[in-house]
Amino acid sequence: MPAARRFTIKGRVQGVFFRESTRRVAESLGITGHAINLRNGDVEVLAFGEADALDRLAEYLRDGPTMADVAAVSSESIDYEHHETFTTG
């Protein structure tokens, strides 16, 4: 059954390849949505896919790419929306 979550990732997560690496992981898991930089320095990830795939993405987000220093990840369930791809912005 499809599920949807909004993740907010705090720490040193901008300028460290976080969005692009998240896109690659999401696509490998069959997840659509987006990863965007927020003005306050956080990254927002909207993820749409199977619940187990979203759990695996959440595990990745806790560490991120090598140069990232993730301080915290929050997650909330949101309404499912159909998206064709996973984008960054």
Residue 1 has pLDDT above 90, yes or no: no
Mean pLDDT, the chain, whole residue set: 97
pLDDT of residue 40: 98
Domain ranges of the chain: 2-82
Q: Which CATH class is domain 2-82?
A: alpha beta
Q: Which of 12, 24, 37, 56 is catalytic?
A: 37
**pLDDT band at 20, cuts 50/70/90?**
very high
Q: Considering Cα of 47, then 52, then 58, then 63, what sign does the dihedral take? A: negative
Q: Could you report the per-residue pLDDT of 38-68, keeping only the tens digit for each?
A: 999 999 999 999 999 999 999 999 999 999 9
Catalytic status, residue 19: yes
CA 39 – CA 42 distance, rounded (Å) = 7
Q: Model confidence at 22, in pLDDT bands (50, 70, 90)?
A: very high
Is 40 annotated as catalytic? no
Q: Which are the contacts of 60, defined by CB distance < 8 A and separation ≥ 6?
A: 22, 25
